[in-house]
Amino acid sequence: MFYRETGQFKTSYTADQQIFPIRQDRIGVAIILAVALLVVPFVANEFVLSAIVIPFLVLALATIGLNILTGYAGQLSLGTGGFMGVGAYACYKLVTIFPDVNVIIHILLSGFFAAAVGVVFGLPSLRIKGLYLAVTTLAAQFFLEWCFIRIPWLYNYNPSAAIEVPGKTLFGVLITGPAASGVARYFVVLAIVIGMTLLMKNLIRGRIGRQWMMIRDMDIAAELMGVRPLIAKLSAFAVSSYICGVAGAMFVFFYLGASEPAVFSITLSFQILFMAIIGGLGSLVGSFFGAAFIWILPILLRVWLPAMGFDIGAEAIFQMAQIIIGALIIFFLIVEPHGLARLWAIGKEKLRVWPFPYA
Amino acid sequence: MDVLYTIFIDPFVQMAEAPDFLLQVVWEGFVAGILYALIALGFVLIYKASGVFNFAQGIMVVFAGLSLVGLHEMGVPALLALIMAIGVMAILAICIEKFVMRPLVGQPDIILLMATIGMTYFLIGLGEFIFGGEPKQMITEELGLPTGSTAFEMDNGGLVILQHIDIAAAVIALIMVGGLAVFFNRTRIGRALRAVADDHTAALSVGISLNQIWAIVWFAAGIVALATGIMWGARSDVSFALEIVALKALPVLILGGFTSIPGAVIGGLIIGIGEKIGEIYWGGLVGGGIESWLAYMIALIFLLFRPQGLFGEKIIERI
């Protein structure tokens, strides 16, 4: 009843083609942004910001990156963790080599290295499809992981084989490294994630995004209609890896503070693939839902289970949380294979025609 | 030139100079290959009958091994524990069929794939919850499996050492492949399985119960997993690290084709021997440890030339 576009007339193409054509959507987004900017940083304590909100935003960005490739262009990838790692290590090297340049520029640049690697491993996608492609991205994943361990130059010959983030400032405020405050990091992460999401939304609505979707729906038909698969598939790999690379750099610089190769293992790839699928393939808002579900729920479970009287020790709680997550994943796949984004869309649709069952 | 020499000539010179060592390496690769083939066999069984790409095969191996060892630790005699472990796999198969596969019939491949990864999470949590997360020793002797080793002397005086457990693994793998072939081709259920694999709807229309068939197939994959778990556990130990190793079955399947049982065996052997030789003779050139990705690269190169896999049928695409 509140959510209804009756009476909202569009008198220009610009108004008709805006990202949120319905007024209630615009109000909703404005409220969410206002909460994110004005409420969260002042209400949330250091732990909530550092352990929940910041990684949630970063992983949502990585999920958007994977969604570009798997959800919009239809190329299954199990190498997300590896591509994120490339971004992280590239950023680390850039910071070491050019310490005077602002770290934000480094983070945005590091994505290009990931994009280049992504294009190289995307080349087989021109001949290989479906599950077979998953194996080639697994090759990327394991090869890159091996590189992070075996090439000491990448971690500046650090004997512990880990990368440690130096403290860097933006406008005189410390934003990276262990000493940076949660609020400062939160604002930087939020700004990058919002910027990237807007950029991707417009890319998807445009010519290249529509080409990706044509390739996804049927590549031969798309080719016959004048989409060049080479350009479309490789650009999807490049854009997706760019986003993943930036997310990887942010993951280390704003969340972990220090990282070892094991961070970017196949587990991370699976985790992000889950976020994309549980959230909904081919949906940007779904990426945020999925990231929230997979990242925040286990943390909440670990807090809630003892609170509800299941006092069975930290290790058992951890295992219980994993069992519940596994069961919930299967449950959600059964209930709505198109992800939380579809549930969200169905909910909005119901609201529009309420109190009637059909429009 | 030096680089070319170390890459293309030197490894072969080393092989020719120490044939006993080469033979040992090939044998090690052969045994690893058999274990890959066993995991791949589990994949193939399920893929053939239900078109599901079962990522959970790796954790099923771990889970089967853990149940066996865990039950034995609780004081159950070894043979009884084996039977009970088989029972556990049967219950698991029925549960998977009833709660996961049946509600997800007809969903796209990627959803089914994700469901099996969800199962992996579930089983990892459950396994650690019941049996604890530490690696466990496989009860090799209690099960009556041979231990010890035999050394064969070569003409040039070198030694090739064969572990008895490895020989047993090879024999058991052979028996299982043979048994499965007979099961698929000679029995009533086997024929029903092949009918389901061919066309679900047509199989339903002639009165084959899909639910029953799927439960049987998951059970068969569980038995294969148990055998794999015992063999692998006897070589190293039963731990959750095996789950990552099981991903190696993917390149094996790429080589062997997703639906071919002999293909799984041949693919497993190629990958096993190939990556051992690559690691020993070429790995040192780039710092070692290339075993973790060499198999995928081999599969990738094969795929570039044959996108349908080595034994796969030619893909015909229509609009």
pLDDT of residue B200: 76
Q: Which of A131, A270, A274 sits opposite B109 (nearest CB)?
A: A131
Contact (CB, 8 A) for B302 and B293: no
Contact list in A for residue B124 (CB cut-off 8 A) is 322, 326
pLDDT (average), residues B45-68: 82
Which domains does chain B carry? 2-305 (1.10.3470)
Chain A residue at shortest CA distance from B102 = A334
In whole angstroms, give the CA distance from residue B39 to residue B253: 10
For A166, half-sphere exposure in the C-beta direction (CA atoms, 13 angstrom radius) is 17
Contact list in A for residue B290 (CB cut-off 8 A) is 146
CB contact under 8 A, A143 and B293: yes
CB contact under 8 A, B129 and A316: yes
How does pLDDT run across B66-106, given as a tens digit for each residue?
Answer: 888 888 887 777 788 888 888 988 998 888 888 888 888 77
Q: Which of B123, B289, B303 sits opposite A150 (nearest CB)?
A: B289
Query: Which residues, 6 or more positions from B110, have their beta carbon under 8 angstroms from its beta carbon?
Result: A70, A76, A277, A281
Mutation target to probe the B interface, by most B beta carbons within 10 A, among A329, A331, A342 is A329
pLDDT of residue B158: 65
Q: Which helix (H) or strand (E) holds A164?
A: strand A163-164
Contact (CB, 8 A) for B21 and B281: no
- In this prediction, residue A312 has a pLDDT band, given cuts at 50, 70 and 90, of low
- In this prediction, residue B309 has a pLDDT band, given cuts at 50, 70 and 90, of low
Contact list in B for residue A325 (CB cut-off 8 A) is 121, 125
CB contact under 8 A, B118 and A130: no
Contact (CB, 8 A) for B36 and B273: no
Chain A residue at shortest CA distance from B108 = A337
In whole angstroms, give the CA distance from residue A313 to residue A142: 34
Q: Which of B125, B133, B297 sits opposite A323 (nearest CB)?
A: B125
Q: Which of A135, A138, A333 sits opposite B118 (nearest CB)?
A: A333
Hey, which residues does B150 pair with through a beta bridge?
A: B162
How does pLDDT run across B154-203, given as a tens digit for each residue?
Answer: 666 666 777 777 787 788 888 888 888 888 778 888 888 878 877 778 88
Backbone φ, ψ for residue A168 (5° rounding):
-125, 155
pTM, two decimals, is 0.86
Q: Which of A132, A221, A324 sits opposite B303 (nearest CB)?
A: A132
Q: How far does A140 lie from chain B, in Å, by closest CA? A: 8
Contact (CB, 8 A) for B303 and A136: yes
Contact list in B for residue A333 (CB cut-off 8 A) is 104, 107, 111, 114-115, 118
DSSP A38-57: IIHHHHS-HHIIIIIIHHHH
Q: How long a stretch of residues is chain B?
A: 319
CB contact under 8 A, B125 and A315: no
Contact (CB, 8 A) for A248 and A84: yes
Mutation target to probe the A interface, by most A beta carbons within 10 A, among B296, B302, B305, B316 is B296
Higher pLDDT, B6 or A326: A326
Closest of B125, B44, B197, B61 to residue A320, by C-alpha: B125
Backbone φ, ψ for residue A173 (5° rounding):
-105, 135
CB contact under 8 A, B293 and A142: yes
Locate all alpha helices (DSSP H) within chain A, ordered by sequence: 13-16, 23-34, 40-43, 46-47, 54-66, 80-97, 103-122, 131-150, 182-205, 207-217, 219-224, 229-250, 266-279, 284-291, 297-307, 314-335, 340-353
Hey, which residues does B161 pair with through a beta bridge?
A: B151
Residue A177 pLDDT > 90: no
Largest CA distance in chain B: 68
In whole angstroms, give the CA distance from residue B38 to residue B175: 11
Picking from B93-97, B214-218, B250-254, B287-291, which range would have the lowest pLDDT averaged per residue? B287-291
Q: How far does B24 lie from chain A, in Å, by closest CA? A: 26
Q: How many CB atoms lie within 10 A of CB B38?
A: 27
CB contact under 8 A, B115 and A224: no
Closest of A242, A302, A240, A353 to residue A52, by C-alpha: A302
- Determine whether B71 is exposed, middle or buried from the number of CB atoms within 10 Å of its CB (0-12, 13-18, 19+): buried
Q: Is B51 left (phi over 0), alpha (psi -120 to 50) or beta?
A: left
- In this prediction, residue B275 has a pLDDT band, given cuts at 50, 70 and 90, of confident
Number of helical H runs and strand E runs in chain B: 14, 2
Residue A241 pLDDT > 90: yes
pLDDT of residue B33: 84
Mutation target to probe the A interface, by most A beta carbons within 10 A, among B285, B293, B304, B305 is B293
Contact (CB, 8 A) for B29 and B273: yes
Determine whether domain A19-263 maps to CATH 1.10.3470. yes
Mutation target to probe the B interface, by most B beta carbons within 10 A, among A78, A123, A126, A132 is A132
If you search the block for the tokens 């274990």, which residue do you land on? B35
State the Cα angle at A339 between A287 and A254, rounded to 5°: 20
Q: Which of B100, B128, B304 sits opposite A124 (nearest CB)?
A: B304
Cis peptide leading into residue B19 (ω within 30°): no
Beta strands in chain B (DSSP E): 149-153, 159-163
In whole angstroms, give the CA distance from residue B211 to residue A35: 50
Residue B142 pLDDT > 80: no
Residue A52 pLDDT > 70: yes
In whole angstroms, give the CA distance from residue B69 to residue B233: 10
